[in-house]
Homo-oligomer: A and B are copies of this chain.
Amino acid sequence: MTDLSNASPGCAIAAADITRWDLETDVVVVGFGAAGASTAIEAARGGARVMLFEAASDSGGTSALSGGEMYLGGSGGTPIQHAAGFKDETEDLYQYLMMTGGPNPDAAKARLYAEGSLAHYHWLVAQGIEYKTSYIAERCIEPSTDDCLIWSGSEEAWPFASGATPAPRGHCPKFLGMGGGKYVMAQLAQQAVAAGTEVHYNARAMALIVDHNRHVQGIAVKIDGKMLAVRAQRGVALCAGGFIMNRDMVKRHAPLMLRSQYPLGTIDDGSGIRLGMSVGGATINMQEGFVTIPWYPPGSLVKGIFINNQGQRFINEDCYHGRVSHHAIQQAGDRIWLLQDHATYATSEMHALARMEIGAAGDSWEEIERELQLPHGALVNTVSVYNEYAAQGDDPLFHKAAKWLKPLNEPPFVAIDCRIDHCFYASFTLGGLDTLPTGEVRDEDGAIIRGLFAAGRTACGLPRSGAGYSSGLSLADASFFGRQAGIQLANTRS
């Protein structure tokens, strides 16, 4: 038997070298976040024996760090959307996912998700996740209450509103306050265990075991300092998060993300992706990441305008906070300001969290311009063009919707400092293994690697562009496509 003690995620072990399997099961799941739990639930309910290995000492993963929000809709709308008076057609959800999927959206995943999202809502409810029948119309990031439905993307903003009828799709669980991810994960983890999943904590996946035909046979796992060879008759599902915490990988694959100094994650060391790569799994979209500064609420701030170091606007400010932030970090120079007048200015505790402070205040825009040491006219002209058109309910430059347009002409004026290198811009990665909607991992030629599946941020899923991200999309993608992987695994004969 080969010496497993040097195993590393980047280097697969030949099955021929395994003389003894320490454990044996049908399905191995790596990681106990939303993707891993959902994979395990469906595989186990489908009749497969499932072993789940989680490197941490408890379930939850990075999913538990989130707000627990799921991006759901289509098929006419969820009960919560209905109650709030919204219809949400499948085609609108599909088009929105395609428009926001960056230059290379995954049409097959978007189609399957758009068609299955309502059923997924009911499935989540069946797992014990409660949703209050309530709707928050105001701009927010997460409710501080236990309310449910929010606008969590750029649905109403240009250019998306013209390509798909907008609907709010962010479904927050009935959990009081922020951080509902731990509540969602508690339900999913409980269901996974109830379905029969054998969970091993403090168990680190070290290397895939693959046969001569590139068919994944199992995995080497380290538990209590011992390396075990685990046979997976039907396959291995990698649900081990992204790579934002592996700063070397970020540097080499998504260097723009280094501008954000606040990586969001738990382990997220890229080891899931590395395991897949070790057997020829292709990675795609590795340069992409989500980045955001939580600059609203309050919603009145959306009536202000963002400017860069040149005093130029760069986005319609009624987009989702992450889309605005994505464009902010693409600007030349570190200085970004949010301009407000007396009528629109407001603050919230989010600003303290985000380290957003007033960078300049004055009774005229000329004064602000001088205080920010911007060239003469650079800021003033920007505001002047904006104000002239806003007075007519128009934003010909960036197409902010009329409801957010108001001339910024009521002194005093302020410039809120949103410097990239100073403020809280949080980030996580969106690139990963190239998978089919079934979760099957593909190689660079598009061929399936038998016995290997991936879901969640280990894969490249629906959320694949910082410019098009919506809150709730990662968790929805992880749980929905985790389920697809589980179903496929349950139906796989060894």
A→B interface (CB under 8 Å): 8, 10-11, 14, 102-104, 212, 214, 249, 251-253, 255-256, 258, 274, 277-278, 280, 282, 284-287, 310-315, 330, 332, 374-378, 381-382, 384-385, 388-389, 396-398, 434, 443-445
Return the chain B residue nearest A214 by Cβ: B11
- Measured in the bound complex, the distance between the Cα atoms of B385 and A385 in whole Å is 14
Chain B proximity of A407: nearest CB distance (Å): 14
A396 touches B384 (CB 8 A): no
Q: Which B residues touch A397, using CB under 8 A? A: 310-311, 375, 378
Return the chain B residue nearest A312 by Cβ: B312
Given contacts A11-B280, A280-B10, A385-B381, contact A252 B443 (CB under 8 A): no
Chain B proximity of A336: nearest CB distance (Å): 15
Return the chain B residue nearest A446 by Cβ: B248
- Measured in the bound complex, the distance between the Cα atoms of B384 and A385 in whole Å is 13
B104 touches A255 (CB 8 A): yes
Q: Which B residues touch A249, using CB under 8 A? A: 444
B252 touches A285 (CB 8 A): yes
Chain B proximity of A327: nearest CB distance (Å): 8
Neighbour of A377 across the interface among B251, B374, B381, CB < 8 A:
B381
A253 touches B284 (CB 8 A): yes
B434 touches A103 (CB 8 A): no
Residue contacts A-B, CB under 8 angstroms, 17 given: A10-B445, A11-B214, A11-B443, A104-B251, A104-B252, A249-B444, A253-B287, A286-B287, A287-B287, A310-B398, A375-B385, A375-B389, A375-B397, A376-B385, A377-B381, A381-B381, A381-B385
Q: Which of A252, A375, A384, A434 has the most CB of B within 10 A?
A: A252
Tell me the dominant secondary structure on chain A's binding face.
Answer: loop
Q: Which B residues touch A285, using CB under 8 A? A: 252-253, 255
Given contacts A310-B313, A312-B312, A397-B375, contact A252 B11 (CB under 8 A): no
Q: Which B residues touch A103, using CB under 8 A? A: 251, 255-256, 258
Return the chain B residue nearest A256 by Cβ: B103
A434 touches B278 (CB 8 A): no
- Measured in the bound complex, the distance between the Cα atoms of B287 and A381 in whole Å is 35
Extra contacts, 10 of them, besides A10-B444, A103-B258 (Cβ < 8 A), are A11-B214, A11-B443, A103-B256, A249-B444, A253-B285, A310-B398, A375-B385, A377-B384, A377-B385, A381-B381
Return the chain B residue nearest A374 by Cβ: B396
Q: Which B residues touch A434, using CB under 8 A? A: 252
A388 touches B398 (CB 8 A): no
- Measured in the bound complex, the distance between the Cα atoms of B314 and A311 in whole Å is 11
- Measured in the bound complex, the distance between the Cα atoms of B282 and A275 in whole Å is 13
Q: Which B residues touch A443, using CB under 8 A? A: 10-11
- Measured in the bound complex, the distance between the Cα atoms of B445 and A10 in whole Å is 7
Chain B proximity of A365: nearest CB distance (Å): 13
Return the chain B residue nearest A443 by Cβ: B10
Given contacts A10-B444, A278-B280, contact A255 B102 (CB under 8 A): yes
Chain B proximity of A18: nearest CB distance (Å): 14
- Measured in the bound complex, the distance between the Cα atoms of B384 and A311 in whole Å is 14
Q: Which B residues touch A14, using CB under 8 A? A: 212
Return the chain B residue nearest A467 by Cβ: B332
